[in-house]
A and B are shown apart, each in its own frame.
Chain A
């Protein structure tokens, strides 16, 4: 078991290193650098070359790569040229914001998805099931910005129940602790609902499918034959087994907790990783791009790992 874990750990480190290295080379090959953007009448054209020299943008790629690798190995991701702060500080602000929004959004998505899937599986092929199928498929197919704009028009502008943007009101800093929490929760509603609405369809479809499969199995039929109610057979007997495939879905959506969604973050002015990563890429801010890549890759690896682990715990058949 220990040897297995060790091998797995080595493989994960290798994956992260490979992805970071590939990203480095792709970004180095992409045309333009941070100084390319500086075409501005207030800036002398010669300033571009001076800045390239100051930032070491003209050094050969292997020099830049080795410099990055030797620092990153010690956990120092350098300075963001765009945000003019250590990369750690930039990520330190954006990561918790994204984790909060994605965490609440995913939780809501799961709750909604599970509820809908259960209701559908309770009376499959009924009119209500078909209606819910159509609704979840529509929600799944809708582009995120359309859902976000719809929610904004309805609940922020026409009926101003929730704030349209940001994580807190401007005056939140002066509020007592619990009022601040309430303020943040109010700000969370619309962006989290957007995540939940666009995502719950998939969860519901998965769950409905696997519940219907389980319901045909012998142990459910046996429970029903014993006189167990349909509802009880569904929730107590079929559901635990039907949840297994969902573990993969949950594990795979874990990286979303650190990567965020650019569209949602831009529309709701939510200062998270999506925006940071996007502006880093467009500005060719290599230290920041690299750090984002490492964090997101690590999350993908960890998500897979956790999903496997959860399988191990939940399903004795796959135990090693």
Chain B
């Protein structure tokens, strides 16, 4: 947390410099490279914002990125998770600090922050937001994030304190999770009625932009909020979000100049975007990794020699090159190499069908009758590989995996399934193998995926992986208050997980963002495409 501390010390200076700077009027004569005020940017999104209130249900990451432009958070998580645990910069809070025992976290809020109706944003809003987040009446999936926060106290309109039940490394991140919502307006609506309330009718925002118009399922237009209290103030007049569900149409409209930004260009369209002189293709390192999850409870997949052999038999580089057109990397282990917590010394298991065949023989998965298909305990072995039917890239990968495994005598049957039905089978443990992907959170914690599943706390470890040594390391890491020390335990756990190959780590994805060249000043980074939207400007 060294960086956070350094930031804290430099804050008074920072605030001072910002406060002394006078807003510059739009220049008549523009020096080359100087930002221009005005104009608009059109962004293609695949689905509309479900609600302006994130606490009434589950919001996808693009929705949260849009809400970031409308509602403040206490701090802004920085996109530096590649080098270190994420640091934070001031947003609604200008400074923060822990008590001696690390159980009380005090935030000093910006005195000049206000909602779009002119009402000040105060500590009362922060405390109200916390009550909302903890409310058993609301179906907010993030509620458990606040488990160790006991209460939030309003000390003064600009000072608010969080009281924790224990001290742990992610206190700041957990306190900061979720947007601050207006207590003076939304507090008047009883929480029981929230899930059924149309919050676009009660819209008060406090961000660099405000909602200019919203036609559900079609267009959301945000306009620069002239009263925004933080800097930098946006150069753009408007940001238009157009709902275009079909990714191919998103790219077609990008190529035709009808939209300026496509958040996820399918890899097969990448060359089209790159070849267009008016567009730029930005490769953003992502935290998404693809895998084949083997059911660790089902023999012979419960034998780690078998799982290792299956990994060795699959040509993962070929999948990266063919299915992802090279816009991915073969994955090594459970934490993507784009993250600070990744163990850099993990071996990349090679593509080695010969060794795979030997391993299968020693594990007792042999082809006794010589028909080219291996048997297990006297019966032909067939592995069902489930994958979501709507995903053409998964379908292509599944066929390549099938062909690779056939070479070592394993019969794999790709089975497309409707997504929700597939998830239900995963949850029930009723599968041989699934072809899926996971996006790692910036809050590194191996518990939910790799710890032996417990019936009391729930788990995402649906493959049933269980290694007591890994469990022990995860618990040790969790109890460490210093993340750098926790990483020592995580490093070892990653080694063990790779040795066990509970899943075949297939690829680490790269997010492809298509953006019009006329947009300048955009710093597209892994935190969010809109991270510095305030600094974007467009050339006429």
> Which residues does A use to contact B, with CB under 8 Å?
30-33, 36-51, 54-55, 79, 81-86, 89, 93-94, 152, 156-157, 160, 163-168, 170, 173, 266-267, 269, 271, 275, 282-284
Given A46-B457, A168-B215, list of 8 further CB < 8 A pairs? Answer: A30-B421, A31-B424, A32-B423, A37-B420, A42-B145, A47-B142, A84-B57, A164-B249
> Which residues of the partner chain A approach B255 to less than 8 Å between Cβ atoms?
157
The segment out of B14-22, B31-39, B104-112, B216-224 that lies at the interface is: B216-224
- Pick the most buried of B136, B256, B438: most chain A CB atoms within 10 A of its CB: B256
B244 within 8 Å of A by Cβ? yes
Query: How far apart are the CA atoms of A49 and B142 in the complex, in Å?
Result: 13
Query: Is the pair B427, A36 in contact by a Cβ cutoff of 8 Å?
Result: yes
Q: Within the complex, which residue of A38, A46, A49, A170 is in contact with B219, where a contact is CB–CB below 8 Å? A: A170
> Which residues of the partner chain A approach B253 to less than 8 Å between Cβ atoms?
164-165
> Which residues of the partner chain B approach A43 to less than 8 Å between Cβ atoms?
58, 141-142, 144
Query: Is the pair B243, A42 in contact by a Cβ cutoff of 8 Å?
Result: no
**Which 7 A/B pairs are nearest by Cβ-Cβ distance?**
A271-B217, A32-B424, A44-B144, A45-B458, A31-B424, A41-B441, A32-B420
When A82-B50, A89-B198, A170-B242 are in contact, do A42 and B441 touch as well, CB less than 8 Å? yes
> Which residues of the partner chain A approach B196 to less than 8 Å between Cβ atoms?
79, 85-86
Query: Is the pair A267, B246 in contact by a Cβ cutoff of 8 Å?
Result: yes
When A37-B420, A266-B246, A275-B245 are in contact, do A164 and B256 touch as well, CB less than 8 Å? yes
- Pick the most buried of B218, B243, B459: most chain A CB atoms within 10 A of its CB: B218
Query: How far apart are the CA atoms of A33 and B424 in the complex, in Å?
Result: 8
Query: Is the pair B50, A44 in contact by a Cβ cutoff of 8 Å?
Result: no
B524 within 8 Å of A by Cβ? no
Query: How far apart are the CA atoms of A55 and B138 in the complex, in Å?
Result: 10
Grouping DSSP codes into helix (H, G, I), strand (E, B) and loop, the B interface class, with mixed when no group exceeds half, is mixed
Q: Within the complex, which residue of A36, A50, A170 is in contact with B424, where a contact is CB–CB below 8 Å? A: A36
B272 within 8 Å of A by Cβ? no
> Which residues of the partner chain B approach A42 to less than 8 Å between Cβ atoms?
141-142, 145, 441
Q: Would you mind naming 13 contact pairs between A and B with Cβ atoms under 8 Å apart?
A: A33-B420, A39-B423, A39-B426, A45-B458, A47-B142, A85-B198, A165-B242, A165-B253, A166-B242, A267-B249, A271-B217, A282-B418, A282-B420
Query: How far apart are the CA atoms of A163 and B253 in the complex, in Å?
Result: 10
> Which residues does B use to contact A, with CB under 8 Å?
42, 50-51, 56-58, 136, 139, 141-145, 195-196, 198, 213, 215-219, 221, 240, 242-246, 249, 252-253, 255-256, 258, 418-428, 438-441, 443, 448, 457-460
Query: Is the pair A45, B460 in contact by a Cβ cutoff of 8 Å?
Result: yes
- With CB as the reference atom, state the residue of chain B lying closest to A268: B249
Query: Is the pair A54, B460 in contact by a Cβ cutoff of 8 Å?
Result: no
Query: How far apart are the CA atoms of A46 and B136 in the complex, in Å?
Result: 14
Query: Is the pair A166, B219 in contact by a Cβ cutoff of 8 Å?
Result: yes
When A30-B421, A50-B143, A166-B218 are in contact, do A160 and B441 touch as well, CB less than 8 Å? no
Query: Is the pair B141, A51 in contact by a Cβ cutoff of 8 Å?
Result: yes
Query: Is the pair B252, A164 in contact by a Cβ cutoff of 8 Å?
Result: yes
Query: Is the pair B425, A31 in contact by a Cβ cutoff of 8 Å?
Result: yes
When A46-B144, A166-B242 are in contact, do A31 and B420 touch as well, CB less than 8 Å? yes
> Which residues of the partner chain B approach A269 to less than 8 Å between Cβ atoms?
218, 242-246, 249
Q: With both chains docked as a complex, state the minimum distance between the C-beta of A271 and any C-beta of chain B, in angstroms.
A: 3
Query: Is the pair A45, B457 in contact by a Cβ cutoff of 8 Å?
Result: yes
> Which residues of the partner chain B approach A83 to less than 8 Å between Cβ atoms?
50
Query: Is the pair B141, A45 in contact by a Cβ cutoff of 8 Å?
Result: no
> Which residues of the partner chain A approach B443 to less than 8 Å between Cβ atoms?
41
When A40-B141, A42-B441 are in contact, do A157 and B215 touch as well, CB less than 8 Å? no
- With CB as the reference atom, state the residue of chain B lying closest to A158: B256
Q: Within the complex, which residue of B58, B216, B440 is in contact with A38, where a contact is CB–CB below 8 Å? A: B58
When A164-B253, A269-B246 are in contact, do A84 and B424 touch as well, CB less than 8 Å? no
Query: How far apart are the CA atoms of A282 and B457 in the complex, in Å?
Result: 27
Query: How far apart are the CA atoms of A82 and B195 in the complex, in Å?
Result: 11
Q: Within the complex, which residue of B243, B258, B425, B460 is in contact with A39, where a contact is CB–CB below 8 Å? A: B460
Q: With both chains docked as a complex, state the minimum distance between the C-beta of B535 and any C-beta of chain A, in angstroms.
A: 23
When A32-B421, A84-B56 are in contact, do A271 and B216 touch as well, CB less than 8 Å? yes
- With CB as the reference atom, state the residue of chain A lying closest to B240: A170
> Which residues of the partner chain B approach A37 to less than 8 Å between Cβ atoms?
419-420, 423
When A36-B424, A40-B141, A45-B459 are in contact, do A152 and B252 touch as well, CB less than 8 Å? yes
- Pick the most buried of B425, B428, B443, B448: most chain A CB atoms within 10 A of its CB: B448
Q: With both chains docked as a complex, state the minimum distance between the C-beta of A56 and any C-beta of chain B, in angstroms.
A: 11
Query: Is the pair A170, B221 in contact by a Cβ cutoff of 8 Å?
Result: yes
Q: With both chains docked as a complex, state the minimum distance between the C-beta of B48 and any C-beta of chain A, in angstroms.
A: 8
> Which residues of the partner chain A approach B50 to less than 8 Å between Cβ atoms?
82-84
Query: Is the pair A84, B195 in contact by a Cβ cutoff of 8 Å?
Result: yes
> Which residues of the partner chain B approach A84 to less than 8 Å between Cβ atoms?
50-51, 56-57, 195
> Which residues of the partner chain A approach B218 to less than 8 Å between Cβ atoms?
166-168, 269, 271
> Which residues of the partner chain A approach B426 to less than 8 Å between Cβ atoms?
39
- Pick the most buried of A44, A156, A282, A283: most chain B CB atoms within 10 A of its CB: A44
- With CB as the reference atom, state the residue of chain A lying closest to B200: A85
Query: How far apart are the CA atoms of A42 and B174 in the complex, in Å?
Result: 11
- With CB as the reference atom, state the residue of chain A lying closest to B439: A41
Q: With both chains docked as a complex, state the minimum distance between the C-beta of B275 and any C-beta of chain A, in angstroms.
A: 16
- With CB as the reference atom, state the residue of chain B lying closest to A85: B198
Q: With both chains docked as a complex, state the minimum distance between the C-beta of A258 and any C-beta of chain B, in angstroms.
A: 17
Query: How far apart are the CA atoms of A156 and B196 in the complex, in Å?
Result: 39
> Which residues of the partner chain A approach B51 to less than 8 Å between Cβ atoms?
84
Q: Within the complex, which residue of A44, A45, A93, A173 is in contact with B213, where a contact is CB–CB below 8 Å? A: A173
